[in-house]
Chain A
Amino acid sequence: MKYEPVIGMEVHVELSTKSKVFCGCSTNFHAPANSNVCPVCLGMPGVLPVINKRAVEMSVMVGLALNCTISRWSKMDRKNYFYPDLAKNYQISQYDLPLCHDGFIDIKANGTSKRIGITRAHLEEDTARNTHTIGGGDSGVDFNRCGVTLLEIVTEPDIRGAEEAFAYLTELKQLLRYLDVSDCNMEEGSLRAEANISIRPTGTESFGTKTEVKNVASFSGIQKAIEFEIARQAKLIDEGGKVVQETRGWDADRGITFSQRAKESAHDYRYFPDPDLVPIVVDEAWEGRIRESLPELPQARRARFESGYGLSAYDAGVLTAEKEMADYYEAVVKQGCAPKQAANWLSVELQALLTEHKQELTASKVTADRLAAMLKLIEDGTISGKIAKEVLLDMFESGKEPKAIVEEKNLVQISDTSAIESAAREVIAANPGPVAEFRSGKEKTFGFLVGQLMKATKGKANPQMANEVLRKVLKETE
């Protein structure tokens, strides 16, 4: 039978508040185990939580960017379950009144645009980390992560395949990075995605039994896990079996999902409003201030790059994929450089160097100012595009100003007709054979002679002038 996958995603993203959501502990990821902890996040007796205002603001920012309605009135609830990574054995979360609800995000998959509904985005606290590598058969618990600000973003079951899931995650991550509310580092666990996957015969409306795939370390892993899970469920049903509602893990090495929860305990979380925390009221004025503080979002920026700078959709997409790249690009263009030339040098030439040296754009010695200065040297004819590649590499390695490099290496383009002319005469004198060939009608040999001329001028001759002057001298000496 042919099946249609029905997928909803839950993404937990750590918001980059400096301190935790209910206490003043640092959120620094790289601290030694159990050093960013205090009585509050350790759930010691007698402590009380106090909400980090920035955590609320960042949540609302994400909600607005996801076109959500922001709850005027919301509250924090206790979600009760027992687990060693949960200091209080309840998680402070939001149950029936999330901060943000009923939004959407537009994604592009299979070449078309598609709208994915956002059910809700709610504020909660992260859990501790368990390590299983401790000797003696024990597990160790590190509470540094416990209490870090977490936003849970839940979609409608609108996703229809692994590719769409991948596109959703990519789009969401881009948005979060633009908002500068999370580093979205999956390896460090600051973004964690789970997929609820079911299938149904194509053309039917009811939902099948879903499985929840968790603990996948990358977007591509999620895509593969979803593909695997869709195929597994289809095979199971085709063979007369039944999908069991369960949590499944992803074994990246073997490329399979596997049943994870040994015993499917009943989820009876006994949610109730946390009496230690008072309601959160986001009035119109506050929402307005947060909305005003939002940066331009990726889709808007992409469109502006196309219309404003005359870039192709492809170039605009590449340049806006990362906020840092887009900011860099605009800094270059702002200096008066031609938008298309800037796009090309940034997304092709500099990007190639960055990729080769595994370097971040923001860490590069080629600052936007320096790249702009170099582009201006090309535009005013001081250097050729070919020479510019050499200058770029030098800048990339040394961090010197392009002008200094050009002067130091004497790379200024020769645009003096008489100098090029005398070099042309020398080339003609030194290459009687090729000159004769050219004169007998072999136009191809002209390229060779130009090459010789460039060689003689150490590449500095203005290429256009070299062409013209060589033809002129060849004619004169015929």
Chain B
Amino acid sequence: MSNDWYKKTAHEIRDAVRAKKVTALEVTESHLARIEDVDGKVKAFTDVWADAARNQAKAVDARIKNGEDVGVLAGVPIGLKDVFCTKRGTTTCCSKILKGYRSPFDGTAVERLQNAGAVFLGKLNMDEFAMGSSTENSSVQITRNPWNLDCVPGGSSGGSAAAIAADECAITLGSDTGGSIRQPAACVGCVGIKPTYGRISRYGLVAFASSLDQIGPFTKDVEDTAIALNVMCGRDPKDSTSADLAVPDFTKSLKADVSGLRIGLPKEYYTDALNAEMREKIMDAVKVLERQGAKVVEVSLPHTDYAIAVYYIICTAEASANLARFDGVRYGYRAPGVGSTQELYTRTKTDGYGPEVRRRIMLGTYVLSSGYYDAYYLKAQKVRSLIRKDFTDAFEKCDVVLTPTSPTAAFKIGEKSANPLEMYLSDIYTISVNLAGIPGLSMPCGLVASGLPAGIQIMAKPFDEETILRVAYTYEQKRGFEMGTPTAVK
């Protein structure tokens, strides 16, 4: 029997488990062994639930033995970004302030995965409270890019991305507030989608910026993305912002056919700021789709240049309130020896947060404070309306918008940490999607000369994940190359 189940996609595993060609336990063991082999280098996991995973796998096997329906993720090993509330293990957002915190509940997405037969392997590294683009802001460890261990895997869901690229999990879960799924997916060469705001319940996702946060999967191929979306999407009464819309069967979108589809290339994204090599990779991908019958049209997203400013006002403002609850009263870290409630707060918060989180709380508090609300927060929300309208207008002319995911391939660890503004500017291609609430998917489109993956981003109208999947699937089938196993974990 093959012991390289860890290389397989989720649908391959699921089919084999259901057909009793392999047991869920064998698959889980294969992944646990893989984690043992490579995670010392990659450092994607912050907590591996080996025994619990084995038990979960055994339970799946028992149900199969009894002829029960085991769901579309039967025996599929899944890793969770540590931003998801789970009864098992701890939920820390890789912050000292939540060290040891045990959630009394499982979030909705986690619950739905579990009900579909998934096996959870453990928790994955991230930038503290999802604030960062490199996973360097974790209080636990720095995750490495499996293609080059000196490089970052992107962020904030760097652990989730790296775990897929390094074949440690079949599917991982991430969260995307300004690109935190798509940018790391691009950095490590896997598929990552941020669905439409409201598609997947945020209940159980520790909030960073509530109006921007969305949950999404990292997968090895587009089919797995469709399956994961099928499981997680849909109205949840626990989330007031979860859309009350029927969820289509996303696997029906997996057709290698884009004839007549209009692909919009926004001129504001293809400027000098875009690395030439990256541009070439994107244009190669566009050509693949053109050969399949898609038509390229130029579109304009005229307010692109303002997106970063809007984003960092809104996300820090919301975060400043969302993170206020970490105060050492009900859970989490409490600074020792505090003599007053005032001291309890200030010492707990000052010691408990890392510098990036403190910086964003400061910024967010500032833009909401008396006298600045209109100038910053309200202004940003108005410009956000302009950015949304840009997309509405663009989608009059095209069915999908195609852009690079990131202006450059993964950067070196430490390269940007000295200058926060520069780090913020690297989110330029991903944040508009969050501001507009539309879906966006990133998938690999080859390797640049340095041997690192390049990512292409596909966006569509709100709730039109189906068209994104169709384009992504077509490209994946017709691009004519495989990404293969990353060099550093071969």
Contact = CB atoms under 8 A, between A and B. Distances in A.
Q: Do chains A and B touch in the complex (CB under 8 A)?
A: yes
B370 interface: yes
Contacts of A419: none
A272 B85 contact: no
A275 interface: yes
B426 interface: no
A46 B204 contact: yes
Contacts of B304: none
Interface string A131-163: 000000001010100000000000000000000
Nearest to A263: B342
A252 interface: no
Interface residues of B, number: 43
B203 A46 contact: yes
B104 A44 contact: yes
Contacts of B341: 83-84, 139
A272 B377 contact: yes
A278 interface: yes
A48 B368 contact: no
B203 A48 contact: yes
Contacts of B317: 272
Interface in A250-297: 266, 268, 270-272, 274-278
A272 B373 contact: yes
Interface string B196-218: 00000011111101110000000
A88 interface: yes
Nearest to B331: A44
Given A45-B206, A89-B327, A39 B240 contact: no
Contacts of A399: none
A63 B189 CA distance: 57
A46 B370 CA distance: 28
B80 to A, nearest CB: 12
B103 A45 contact: yes
Interface string B44-65: 0000000000000000000000
B207 A46 contact: yes
A45 B321 contact: no
Given A141-B329, A270-B365, A47 B203 contact: yes
Interface in B76-91: 84-85, 91
Given A268-B370, A275-B210, A276-B210, A46 B241 contact: no
Given A45-B85, A80-B321, A87 B368 contact: no
Interface in A68-93: 78, 80, 82-84, 87-90
B239 A48 contact: yes
Contacts of A44: 85, 103-104, 330-331
Contact of A46 (B91, B237, B240): B91
Nearest to A46: B85
Contacts of B103: 39, 44-46
A323 B192 CA distance: 62
A80 B205 CA distance: 21
B318 interface: yes
A49 B107 contact: no
A89 B103 CA distance: 19
Contact of A87 (B84, B85, B330, B345): B330
B359 interface: no
Nearest to B210: A275
Contacts of A268: 369-370
A136 to B, nearest CB: 13
Nearest to B236: A48
A272 B237 contact: no
Given A80-B321, A268-B369, A43 B330 contact: yes
Interface in B242-264: none
Interface string A341-363: 00000000000000000000000
B369 A270 contact: yes
B310 interface: no
A207 to B, nearest CB: 21
B306 interface: no
Contact of B237 (A50, A139, A278): A50
Contacts of A50: 237-240
Summarize B's interface: helix, strand, loop or mixed: loop
B270 interface: no
A42 interface: yes
Interface string B297-322: 00000000000000000000110110
A358 B108 CA distance: 52
A46 B111 CA distance: 14
A89 to B, nearest CB: 4
B239 to A, nearest CB: 5
B93 interface: yes
A248 to B, nearest CB: 21
B324 interface: yes
B405 to A, nearest CB: 25
A51 interface: yes
B91 A45 contact: yes
B395 interface: no
B329 A84 contact: yes
Nearest to A45: B206
Contacts of A80: 320-321, 324, 368
Nearest to B98: A45
B324 to A, nearest CB: 4
Nearest to B237: A50
Contacts of A45: 85, 91, 93, 98, 101, 103, 206-207, 325-326, 331
A461 to B, nearest CB: 73
Contacts of B206: 45-46
Given A43-B325, A80-B368, A90-B324, A276 B241 contact: yes
A39 B368 contact: no
A78 B370 CA distance: 14
A277 B211 CA distance: 10
Interface string A183-208: 00000000000000000000000000
A87 B211 contact: no
Nearest to B84: A46
Given A48-B202, A89-B324, A272-B377, A42 B239 contact: no
Given A44-B104, A46-B206, A88 B324 contact: yes
A265 to B, nearest CB: 10
B324 A39 contact: no
A49 B238 CA distance: 7
Contacts of A82: 324, 327, 345
A275 B204 contact: no
A278 B330 contact: no
Contact of A49 (B209, B240, B326, B330): B240
A34 to B, nearest CB: 10
Contacts of B240: 48-51, 276-278
Contacts of B93: 45
A122 B365 CA distance: 25
B330 A275 contact: no
B336 to A, nearest CB: 15
Nearest to A49: B240
A424 to B, nearest CB: 82
A39 B107 CA distance: 11
Contacts of B84: 46
Given A48-B202, A48-B240, A80-B368, A39 B373 contact: no
A293 B70 CA distance: 49
21 contacts: A39-B105, A45-B326, A46-B105, A46-B203, A46-B207, A49-B240, A50-B239, A80-B321, A82-B324, A82-B327, A83-B341, A84-B329, A89-B321, A89-B324, A89-B327, A270-B321, A270-B365, A270-B368, A271-B373, A276-B240, A278-B241
| Nearest 5 CB-CB pairings of A with B | A89-B324, A275-B211, A270-B368, A46-B85, A275-B210
Given A89-B324, A272-B318, 15 more contacts: A39-B103, A45-B101, A45-B207, A46-B85, A46-B205, A48-B203, A82-B327, A88-B321, A141-B329, A143-B330, A270-B368, A270-B370, A270-B373, A272-B317, A278-B241
Interface of A: 39, 42-51, 78, 80, 82-84, 87-90, 139, 141, 143, 266, 268, 270-272, 274-278
